[in-house]
């Protein structure tokens, strides 16, 4: 998995709560072959899973991607499956992560739902 910037994600990155940002960032790009082999179609979702977490995203075919690679626009959805380890130099591994991909019927969480489990907890 790699995460990175896209034009639409960039345009929405200062309005994170908007539906535009949701549309722009809660997606997962797959190679055309992978897209087919998972029997996906426009609007279908995929579940991405690794040791750090799991997230459901809208699947999108992307001719520019090689097989066995997924691309997710940088942002809160991608970050669910990024680990906290900084490898000694301060920056988490946002790219080059192993992830399992499967088609799913589960819905994509919107940004509020995504963080609903992460409310303010009991610090003093």
Partner 1 sequence: MRSITIAAKNAFRISVEAENISPDKLAPLTIEQIGSLFVWQGNRQKKLSDLFVVEGDDGPATVEEMTIRLVGDFSQVKRIGEGMTAGVVEVQGSVGMHAGNNMLGGLLSISGSADDWLAREMRGGKVVVMGNAGNYLGAGYRGEKCGMRGGEIEVRGSAGAYLGEHLCGGSIRILGDAGDFAGAVNQGGTIFIGGSTYLPGAEMSKGTITVKREAKVLPSFLKTEIVQIDGLAFQKYAGDNVDNGKGELLVGVGSS
Partner 2 sequence: MIKDAVCSFCGCLCDDINVEVEGGMVKRVRHACRLGSSKIMGHGRIESPMIRKEGKLAAASFQEAYDRAAQILLAAAKPLLYGWASTSCEAAKKGILLAEEVGGVLDSTATVCHGPSVIGIEEKGLPGATLGQVKNRADTIVFWGCNPAEAHPRHSLRYSSNSCGRFTPQGREGRKIIVVDVRETRTAKNADKFVRIAPGSDYEVISALRMLVAGKGDVVPEDVGGVSKADLADIAATLKAARFGAVFFGLGITHSRGRYKNIDNALSLVAELNSHTKFVIMPMRGHYNVGGIGQVLAWSSGYPMSVDFTRGGPYFNPGETAACDLLARRDVDAALIIAADAVSNFPRATAEALADIPVIQIDPYENPTTQLSEVVIPCAVVGVEAEGTAYRMDGLALRLRKLVDSILPSDEEILVGILESVHKQRLLRANEEA
Contacting range for partner 2; rule: CB under 8 A; set: 33-41, 42-50, 102-110, 114-122: 114-122
When CB distances are held under 5 to 8 angstroms depending on the partner's kind, the choice from partner 2, partner 1, none that residue 74 binds is: partner 2
Contact 16, 74 (CB under 8 A): no
Is the dihedral angle over the CA atoms 74, 54, 81, 79 positive or is it negative? positive
Residue 90: CB minimum distance to partner 1, A: 11
CB burial of 70-102 (b: ≥16 within 10 Å; e: otherwise) equals bbbbbbebbbbbbeeeeeeeeeeebeebebebe
The correct pick among 64, 87, 119, 122 for binding partner 1 (CB under 8 A) is 87
Closest CA to 78 of 14, 19, 21, 18: 21
The correct pick among 30, 57, 71, 109 for binding partner 2 (CB under 8 A) is 71
5: contact with partner 2 by CB under 8 A: yes
Of 30 and 46, which CB lies nearer to partner 2 in the complex structure? 30
Per CB under 8 A, residues contacting partner 1 are: 87-89
């Amino acid at each position: 998995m790699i995460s990175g910037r896209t034009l639409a994600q960039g345009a929405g990155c200062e309005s994170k709560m908007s539906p535009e940002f949701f549309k722009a960032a809660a997606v997962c790009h797959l190679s055309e072959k992978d897209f087919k082999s998972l029997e996906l179609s426009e609007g279908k979702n995929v579940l991405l899973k690794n040791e750090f977490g799991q997230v459901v995203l809208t699947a999108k075919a992307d001719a520019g991607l090689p097989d066995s690679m997924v691309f997710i626009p940088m942002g809160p959805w991608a970050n669910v499956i990024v680990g906290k380890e900084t490898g000694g130099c301060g920056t988490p591994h946002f790219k080059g992560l192993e992830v399992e991909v499967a088609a799913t019927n589960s819905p994509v969480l919107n940004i509020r739902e995504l963080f609903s489990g992460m409310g303010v907890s009991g610090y003093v």
